[in-house]
Chain A
Amino acid sequence: MKARDKKRLYVIAILGIALLIGVGSYSIGRSSPTNPSSKTTATLGKFQPNSTVTIGSEVFPVTLNPTANASAAIDEVIDYNVLQHLVELDPKGAIIPVLATSWKVSKNNQVYTFQIRKGVRFSNGDPLTAQDVVFSMNRVFASGSTYPYGKLFDVSSVTAQGPYTVSVQLIQPSWEWLFNLAAYSNGVIIDPKTVGTLATDPIGTGPYKVVSEVNNYSITLTRNQRYYGPSARAKNVIFRYFSNPSTEDAALESGQIQVIDNLGTPSEVSLFKDSPRYKVITGPTNGKVQLTLNNSYGPLSNVLVRRAIAYATDKKAIIQVASGGYGTPLGSDSVPADPYYLNLSNTYTYNPTKAKALLIKAGYSHGFPLTITLPPYPYAQLAGPLLASELNAVGIKVKLSNVQWPLWISQVFEGGNFQATVIDHAEARDIGNYGTKGYYWHYSGTAQVSKMLAMANSAPTQKQWVAGYRAVLRKITDAAVNDWLYILPQITVTSSNITGVPTSGYSESFNLSYIGVGGKISTQATTMGF
Chain B
Amino acid sequence: MTRQLRSKRHLKHSLGRSKVQSLLRLTLTLLVASVVDFTVINILPGSPGQVILGTQATPQKVAALDKTLGLTSPIYDQYLTWLRDLITMKLGRSYVSGSHISEQITQALQVTAPLIVGGLIIGIALSLPLAFLIYLLRESRSSMLVALILDLGVSTPSFILGLVLTYIFAIRFSALPASGFTFWSTSVTGALRSLVLPSVALGLVEAAIISRYAKNLIEEVMNTPYVQAARLRGQSETQAFLHHGLRNISAPLVTVVGLEASGLLVGAVVVENVFGLPGVGTLLLNAVQNRDLIIVQDVVMMAVTLVCTINLLVDLSYKRIQPGLRDEIL
Contacts and interface: CB of A to CB of B under 8 A. Distances in A.
A377 interface: no
A256 B51 contact: no
Contacts of B283: 215-216
A150 B278 contact: no
A256 B177 contact: yes
Contact of B46 (A217, A241, A406): A406
A403 to B, nearest CB: 9
B50, B64, B289: residue with the most chain A Cβ atoms closer than 10 Å? B289
Contact of A7 (B104, B140, B159, B166): B140
A401 interface: no
Interface stretch (A45-53, A63-71, A456-464): A63-71
Given A24-B167, A199-B99, A10 B133 contact: yes
Nearest to A145: B61
Interface stretch (B179-187, B205-213, B216-224): B179-187
A525 interface: no
Nearest to A376: B289
B58 A150 contact: yes
A68 B65 CA distance: 10
A146 B53 contact: yes
Nearest to A241: B276
Contact of B171 (A32, A146, A199, A216): A32
Nearest to A23: B168
Interface residues of A, number: 60
B286 A244 contact: no
A199 B50 contact: no
A411 B164 CA distance: 39
B62 to A, nearest CB: 8
Contacts, number: 182
Nearest to B152: A21
A176 interface: no
Nearest to B64: A144
Interface stretch (A247-255, A327-335, A347-355, A513-521): A247-255
Contacts of B64: 144
A214 B278 contact: yes
Interface in B78-107: 94, 96-99, 104, 107
A467 interface: no
B136 A6 contact: yes
A246 B171 contact: no
A240 interface: yes
B33 interface: no
B contact patch SS: helix
B200 interface: no
A527 interface: no
B286 A32 contact: no
A121 interface: no
B110 to A, nearest CB: 11
Interface in A223-281: 240-244, 246-248, 250-251, 253-256
B163 A63 contact: no
Interface stretch (B4-12, B142-150, B250-258): B142-150
B91 to A, nearest CB: 14
Contact of B167 (A27, A60, A240): A27
B57 A150 contact: yes
Contact of A28 (B55, B167, B286): B167
Contacts of B57: 70, 148-150
Contact of B274 (A65, A244, A256): A244
A177 to B, nearest CB: 15
Interface in A66-81: 68-71
Contacts of B99: 63, 199-200, 215
B228 interface: no
B61 A254 contact: no
A410 B167 contact: no
Contacts of A200: 99
> Quick one: which of A14, A68, A70, A250 has the most chain B CB within 10 A?
A250
Contacts of B278: 214-217
A405 interface: yes
Given A32-B171, A256-B179, A10 B276 contact: no
**3 A-B pairs closest in CB distance:** A70-B54, A406-B46, A217-B278
